[in-house]
Amino acid sequence: MNHLCSRTPSATRSTDFSGCSMPRKMPPTRAALLVLTAVLSACGGGDSDDGSGDATSALKVASCGREGGPLRIMPLGDSITQAEAGHNSYRRVLWQRLNAAGCSVDLVGSRSGVSSGYRDSPQTSAPDPDFDPDHEGYWDYRAHELAPQVAGKVGSASPDVVLLHLGTNDVLDGQSTTGIIGELGSVIDAIRAGKADTHIVLAKIIPAAPDTAGTAALNRGIDGLAASRNTVLSPIAVVNQAAGYSVADNYDGVHPNATGEAKLGNQWADTVLAWRTR
């Protein structure tokens, strides 16, 4: 079986903000956003309420893309991000939710569409191609294989937010939890090397039927990873995609079916919208 991480959030919100410096209950003030803008301007970035120039990610995240230009979101990960022919991926629900909420969003990445169902296969259109198809998902890839590519991909696409769901293939290949956590840390470092003020949404991954205990063990380490890597400039929010999700939400034990895609997409959207303060 080709395995690639794919899981869905529950219809109810179970987003975990323990790793995020801007939690839902304590939204950043305008003054705090201006501080972030000043820091980024010193590094070469600039604030622009009229959409001209390079607005900071802090401004665009806080306004959900209504100020400074569309909010650029990169879905990053393995086959759970990419999806297989015949499936839309969670990205369709994410796109629909954010647009319905009045956000201005651009999904970004060097890839488009969905996989033909095997590693490095040609991409094809989703069955409902009515959403932005761009992403950075790689069927059958492990964290250490993706990490060397990330800085360049992020630098080229310039996302304000990266949605990271990664580690399923690593678990299913028998890698230790400690090793996977270390490699996910390297991916986070690579994201910031590509764009220093990127906001990161780090997933506790969905369960995979061959080793649900392994995915659960990895998820227990995610909060600590987020807390150790969280910064003001590039905050990390943890989203518990495993909450309310079961292998019955996967069509093959590993990859989300339509119900699973909806759970994932809604959880991602809830997390992005929780950052909106303007």
β-bridge pairing 15-16 and 236-240: antiparallel
Q: How far apart are CA 68 and CA 91, in angstroms?
A: 23
Return the higher-pLDDT residue of 65 and 12.
Answer: 65
pTM given for the model:
0.82
Nearest in space to 207 (alpha carbons), one of 8, 70, 35: 8
pLDDT at 52: 29
**Is the pLDDT reported for residue 165 higher than 70?**
yes
Q: List Cβ neighbours of 116 (8 Å cut-off, separation of 6 or more).
A: 84, 85, 122, 123, 124
- The CA distances from residue 23 to 204, 224, 272, 273, in Å, are 17, 16, 11, 11
**Is the pLDDT reported for residue 250 higher than 80?**
yes
Tens-digit pLDDT profile for residues 180-223? 999 999 999 999 999 999 999 999 999 999 999 999 999 999 99
- The CA distances from residue 231 to 18, 19, 105, 156, 220, in Å, are 13, 10, 24, 22, 21
**pLDDT band at residue 124, thresholds of 50, 70 and 90?**
very high
Instruction: Calculate the CA dihedral of residues 185, 145, 195, 58 and round it to 10 degrees.
Output: -60
Where are the chain's structural domains? 15-36+56-274
CB atoms under 10 Å from CB of 175, counted, come to 18
Nearest in space to 247 (alpha carbons), one of 237, 255, 258: 255
90 and 135 in contact (C-beta within 8 Å)?
no
Tokens describing residue 153:
């991909």
CB atoms under 10 Å from CB of 264, counted, come to 32
Tokens describing residue 92:
């369709």
Multiple choice CATH, 15-36+56-274, 3.90.850.10, 3.40.1050.10, 3.40.50.1110, 1.20.1560.10? 3.40.50.1110
Summarize the confidence of residues 118-130 as an average pLDDT: 94
